[in-house]
Amino acid sequence: MALRIATWNVNSITARLPRLLAWLESSGTDVLCIQETKCTAEAFPTEQLRELGYASAVVADGRWNGVALVSRVGLEDVVEGLPGGPGYPDDEQEPRAVSATCGPVRAWSVYVPNGREVDHAHYGYKLRWLEALKGAVAQDASGERPFAVLGDFNIAPSDEDVWDRSKFDGLTHVTPAEREALAALRATGLSDVVPRPLKYEHPFTYWDYRELGFPKNRGMRIDLVYGNEPFAGAVKDAYVDREERKGKGASDHAPVVVDLDL
């Protein structure tokens, strides 16, 4: 069975809906993990997606976060939220994780906290959230069913994953503690299934809107696909769809696409 799975931080599904619907049709994507919906669950375009053949699982509250999984190969055993995850600023969880079984694959869509600044409380929250994610996925990561965690991790795994490491001194997204948390997540049985380099020198996935970030390719690779051994072994191709970052009304992130032969 051939299956195309992707992840995309759309930076407001309302603003990006025409592009999203067109991209789903043109790309032939079977399963899409979405981050930063920035809408309530009720406002999510469930009906428009259903008309294209996709079922939706949504965790959203209309503020600045929100995640979803949409699938045209089945959507079962949905888990909303991060089991055992911390809240911010109090005990209430933010809408940052949703998981489901989509045909032969179990997938998570995650939007890892930004961290803001290294000395900010949000940075500690980010590390606690990643620790909870590690615990939540450990069983599936070591299992025999194809399994992956996809999303905006807000961490560049290595210095090669930012356009100029010197520009990030003292900032989040590149700190040793964040990268160690990613390494601990991979140690549960996951690996980065998107090879580097791809068809260009720096396969970035995010470019700031400001200061001509995209035209100058001043980007970061922070949207990741971490799969277990059965998932990684089925990967036939993987790419960042840079074309979808171009033009008016684009998100500041590009979709990351993985083709599987299961």
Residue pLDDT, tens place only, 171-195: 999 999 999 999 999 999 999 999 7
Per residue, the 3-state secondary structure of 34-58, as one string, reads EECCCCECCCCCHHHHHHCCCEEEE
Axis-axis angle for helices 176-186, 121-141 (nearest 10): 10
Distance, CA of 178 to CA of 13 (rounded, Å): 28
Distance, CA of 191 to CA of 255 (rounded, Å): 19
> How many Cβ atoms sit within 10 Å of the Cβ of residue 18?
10
* pLDDT > 70 in the chain, percent: 97
Distance, CA of 99 to CA of 108 (rounded, Å): 4
Q: Which of 173, 239, 253, 259 is catalytic?
A: 253
In 3-state terms, what secondary structure has residue 111? strand
pLDDT at res. 201 = 62
Give the residue-averaged pLDDT of 48-62: 97
pLDDT at res. 200 = 58
**What's the N-to-C CA distance of the chain in angstroms?**
5
Superfamily of domain 2-261: Endonuclease/exonuclease/phosphatase (3.60.10.10)
Q: Which of 30, 54, 88, 111 is catalytic?
A: 111
Residue 38 CB-density burial (10 A; 0-12 exposed, 13-18 middle, 19+ buried): buried
Task: Detail the residues annotated as belonging to a binding site for Mg(2+).
Answer: 9, 36, 152, 154, 252-253
pLDDT at res. 136 = 98
Q: Is 152 a catalytic residue?
A: yes
pLDDT at res. 33 = 99
Q: Amino acid identity of 193?
A: V
Q: Is 192 a catalytic residue?
A: no
Beta strand 223-227 with 2-9: parallel, antiparallel or unpaired? unpaired
Closest of 89, 39, 92, 48 to residue 68, by C-alpha: 39
CA distances from 211 to 16, 101, 154, 208, 217 (A): 22, 40, 20, 8, 11
The domain spans of the chain are: 2-261
Mean pLDDT, the chain, rounded, equals 96
When mean pLDDT is compared across 114-128, 196-210, 225-239, the lowest value belongs to 196-210
Q: Which of 152, 161, 223, 259 is catalytic?
A: 152
Confidence of residue 29 (pLDDT cuts 50, 70, 90): very high
Distance, CA of 193 to CA of 124 (rounded, Å): 28
Task: Detail the residues annotated as belonging to a binding site.
Answer: 9, 36, 152, 154, 252-253
Confidence of residue 63 (pLDDT cuts 50, 70, 90): confident
Residue pLDDT, tens place only, 85-117: 999 998 899 999 999 999 999 999 999 999 999
- State the residue for tokens 């299956």: 3
Res. 64: pLDDT tops 90: no
Confidence of residue 206 (pLDDT cuts 50, 70, 90): very high
Q: Is 111 a catalytic residue?
A: yes
Confidence of residue 197 (pLDDT cuts 50, 70, 90): low
